[in-house]
Each structure stands twice: as C-alpha cells, then as structure tokens.
Amino acid sequence: MKCKRCGEPAVINMRQHKLGLCGDHFTEWLISYTERAIEKYSMFERGDRLLLAVSGGKDSLALWDILLRLGYDVEALYIDLGIGDEQYSEQSKAKVERFAAGKEGAAYSVVNVKGTYGKSVLELAQEKRGRKVCSLCGLVKRHIMNRTAYEGGFTAVATGHNLDDEAAVLFQNALRWQTGYLARQAPVLPSTHPHLARKVKPFFRLYERETAAYAVVRGIDYIYDECPHSVGATTIFYKELLNQLEERSRGAKQQFYLSFLQARDKHGLFQQELAQLELGECEKCGQPTTAPTLCAFCRLWEVE
C-alpha cells in the first residue's frame, strides 16, 4: 500500500477514511484532524489555559505532543493513584517524566493520592470492601482533575479518550438504555458550575490504533500495559466486540458513535434528561455536589 499523498510506502491504512499514509503524512494528517476537532466543537482557544490529564499511556502523551506542537497553552497533570501494587503507578509516572524531560515547554504537576489524602487508591479499596478499584479510581481522578483545574484557574480539562473508548462506553450505556448517562456523553461537557471546568476530548474521532501509531511514529515511549485492575473489565470486552464489527463492516465503530452525536445535536436525542441538577458546594472541599453536605469524594475519607 502506498501513501495517498506522496506514493512512498504507507505505514497505516485507515479503512474507514479510505486513506493510507506514510509516516510523515500520517502525523501531519493526525495533527490537523485533531486541530479541526478542537475548532469545530469549540473545545478551547489559543488564549485558554488548558489542563491535560496524562496517564503515561499513548493517548494522553500523543495529545500532549500535539497540543504543544500546535502552540496551545497547556499544562499536564499526572495523578499518582498508587495502584497495581503501586508498581503500575510508578511505571506510568516514569513515562510522563521521561516525555517531559525530552520536550521543551512540557510543564506538569503530580498529585500523589497517598501523600495528599493519606491512602493510596489500592489501600482505600482494601478498606472499602465491596467497592471496585475502578470505580474508586474514577471518582478520585475526577475530583482531583476538577479541583486542580479550579485552583489553578484553568478554563478546560482535556483527556486522551479516543473513539474506541467513547464507543465502548456508548455501547455499555445503550445496552442498558441508561438515558441519563447517554445524555451526558459528549466530546465537550460545558461547565455547569463556577467551580467546574469544561471537559474536552480532542481525540474522540480517532481510533485507538491511530493514536498508537502516532506515538510509535513520533518515538513516544509510553506504558503499553492496561491498568492491572482493568483486566477483564467489561469495557475491554465491548472494545473487542466493536472491533469484530469493524472487521466485518468498515467504519462501523466510527458510525456508531458519530451518528449518536449527530442524533443528539440535530434532534435533541436524550436531551430532556438534562434537567438542571441542583448543585450545591461540598462543606469540606467546596467542589460542586448534589449531596447535601459532603461530596462523594470527601465521604470516602470519613471514618466509618
């Protein structure tokens, strides 16, 4: 297969776009595709201060690389959760440090969960038997991202979620017709409270294999392994199912997700679910919450 732009051997064939490209033309294409998504969906602008959550994986490091290349005002945040016998967190952090060391202007901060709150997520999960590590981890990450964004005066929080991630979550929500979740699934979540930053996902139109290819072509060293706690997770199974579908029918994964967005934007699909929730402020941390006193995060640290 040859590059559609220059005729050199292609490094990737993107069947859903009917587009094969060489390394140089692929990186050029992916950067401009990301920039167009940022502009088309009004994610953020040049003057905005962006907080990028980085995990040490291919998606968030590739996104960091691109946002810096495009000249956005971006600062990264690594959340040291203390998971996978704490080895996994150590290794992921090392990837973030390594990326930043080799890149001019790559500023970042680290929030260590155990150092800041007294326990790692793993210790917390052991204490709260019956609560899954992944759900605790999600809660802790969301809280820390929101709080860091608010305290640092950032306009938006970006994450590295790609189309495979989004389609798997959509599939999960659609299987159960969880209309409340479906109403809130979007590449841009506007701020609903002065203490909450907008959430954006600039890679939401890219297949996982494309962000991985970008990282490889650009020589970005990232953590290959999935988080050890996610092994066997249903979202991983849904990703496999969607990839089987994609094998049979080119572009099925993309169409599933993008048509959902279109139905929402054009026809208001599920939007009636978005009744304004009354958001108060947590008595302890000040973050927005629907709970009467303490937010779900602060309740985690209360002794029972």
Among 3, 21, 50, 53, contact with ligand AMP (rule: CB under 6 A): 53
Indicate whether 291 belongs to the interface with Zn ion (CB under 5 A).
no
Number of residues that bind ligand AMP (CB under 6 A): 14
**Closer to ligand AMP at the Cβ: 240 or 273?**
240
296: contact with Zn ion by CB under 5 A: no
Residue 159 lies near ligand AMP (rule: CB under 6 A): yes
Q: How many CA atoms lie within 13 Å of 223's alpha carbon, on the beta-carbon side?
A: 21
Residue indicated by tokens 């849904």: 238
- List CB contacts of 157: < 8 A, sequence separation 6 or more: 50, 51, 52, 53, 145, 146, 149, 197, 198, 199, 200
Interface pick for ligand AMP out of 27, 60, 146, 289 (rule CB under 6 A): 60
Which residues between 64 and 123 bind ligand AMP (CB under 6 A)? 77-79, 81
**Binding span for Zn ion by CB under 5 A among 45-53, 144-152, 155-163, 296-304:** 296-304
Kindly state the smallest distance separating residue 288's Cβ from Zn ion, in Å: 9
CA angle, 244 as apex, 243 and 245 as ends, to 5°?
90
Phi and psi for 303 in degrees, rounded to 5? -80, 135
Bridge partner list, 74: 50
Report whether 171 contacts 263 (CB < 8 A): no
User: How far apart are CB 131 and ligand AMP at their closest, in Å?
Assistant: 17
Q: Which does 282 bind (CB under 5 to 8 A by kind): Zn ion, ligand AMP, none?
A: Zn ion
Binding to ligand AMP (CB under 6 A) within 220-259 occurs at none
CB of 159 to ligand AMP, least distance (A): 3
- Closest contact distance (angstroms) between CB of 4 and Zn ion is 8
Distance CA 115, CA 22 (A): 45
- Alpha-carbon dihedral 35, 40, 46, 52, rounded to 10 degrees: -70
Greatest distance between any 2 Cα atoms in the chain: 66
Footprint of ligand AMP (CB under 6 A): 53-55, 59-60, 77-79, 81, 141, 159-161, 165
